[in-house]
Amino acid sequence: MSDDTHVMSTTDRLIYMAHQIARNMATLGEARAVTALAAHLTSFWDPRMKAQIIAIAQAEPDRLSPTVAAAVAQIAQGRSAGKVDATQFNTVDEAGHCDAG
C-alpha cells in the first residue's frame, strides 16, 4: 500500500489525460495529431469535460502543450469534425499497446 495521499484535482486530471492522448497521437505528425486529438476529445469526452478543458485553455494556457492547446482551440471553434485514423500511432513500435491508461 502506498503512503502517497496526493489526489489529482479534476483540472489536473483533465490536463493529464489530454496530454496522455496527445503523446499517443504524436507519431501522426503535429497537424494530424491536433486533428486526431480534437476528434477524440469531441467523440469521447462528455460536454462538461470539454467545457472545462476549454476554460482551462483560456484561463491557464501555459498548462497545455502546443498540441493540446491547438486541439482545444479547434473544439472551442467547433472545428473538430475531421476524421483521422487515430490507431495509426500503433504502427510505430507500439504494437499491442493502447492508450487506455
Q: What is the pLDDT of residues 16-62, one digit of tens each?
A: 999 999 999 999 999 999 999 999 999 999 999 999 999 999 999 99
Binning pLDDT at 50, 70 and 90, where does residue 92 land? Answer: very low
Residue 94 lies in a domain: no
Residue 68 lies in a domain: yes
Residue 96 lies in a domain: no
Rg (CA), the chain: 14
Burial class (CB in 10 A: 0-12, 13-18, 19+), 65: middle
Residue 98 lies in a domain: no
- Identify the domain containing residue 85 by its residue range: 10-89
What φ, ψ does residue 93 adopt, rounded to 5°? 55, 30
Residue 1 lies in a domain: no
Look at the chain and report how many structural domains it folds into: 1
Largest Cα–Cα distance of the chain, in whole Å?
Answer: 45
Residue 81 lies in a domain: yes
16, 53 in Cβ contact below 8 A? no
